[in-house]
Structure 1
């Protein structure tokens, strides 16, 4: 999902910046009204940054990263995950990859837009079953690869369709492995949901589950 610096012209970067600010601003009131979500946003940002830093490799015209979208979404909730993506990318840029800050909005939108689509069309309700998690993951990573294709299509240099297909195919392994990881974390979290720290850190839908 990583878009290399220099691919997009300044005007297109300004469009991405404005779009990212608009998306975050639209969701900010709901986040600010619930202080409990602030801790979860911080946890999402750190979790995402650790995964991003733990594994990344070149894949066609972009990079393959561990994202951990569904663990964050199902355990921490929609808003913490949405803002956690933006905060995590900012943290990643400040600490490890300062050259990527120029594409902060581009990379954030590549993760946030698919999350919004999944949340508003499929939702996370009853996502305790592995089959449901697999469908959520498949839809999300399909969205991520399409977003990368969108940015590549806007690039100043033409990118071959086969190169984008190579990138898309690389995420098949992530989409295959992450549901098992997510399922394990969700089941583990369910065993501690009655504890006070879990109620503070985890999404209310999980801690209130029967």
Structure 2
């Protein structure tokens, strides 16, 4: 767009110079023929008007180009600041994303420390009760984050949630029933975090 305005200005300047040159040449040759002088003057006036219009258009185009460039620089700066802010927030999210989880675990840690500090002064039953309390607190924290145990014992073996470590002959249980759990499994919402390690019942050999 700006190049078109420059070309238009150059064309107007060239045409004006050519018209002025023709007038000068006619004057040197002995004057301008009657009736042509007014035409030349009129043509030169038209060219001057075209030149002024071309200059004004070029000035306007340059102003618009400058404004567009300033807007581009502002937009780029805003985008760069936005990109840096997002990168910083992402870094902080990765670094401190588990902050709430850690805060919720601190009371569990406090309970373990208290149980250990009173272990020598307490009887075994009190220690067991203290550990059971801490365990319930810990499971509650996990539940608040969507982490729950996988049900196993007494249920049919489910390869999506259980991993069979052994098979046990049993007449008391239906075949393929989980009869023992070596290690509890957990899931987060609907996603399995780790399977339960179990023993599965099978019919006695005859």
TM-score range, shorter chain: under 0.3
TM-score with structure 1 length normalisation? 0.22
Higher RCO (C-alpha 8 Å, min separation 6): 1
Between Structure 1 and Structure 2, the one with more helix by share is 1
TM-score with structure 2 length normalisation? 0.23
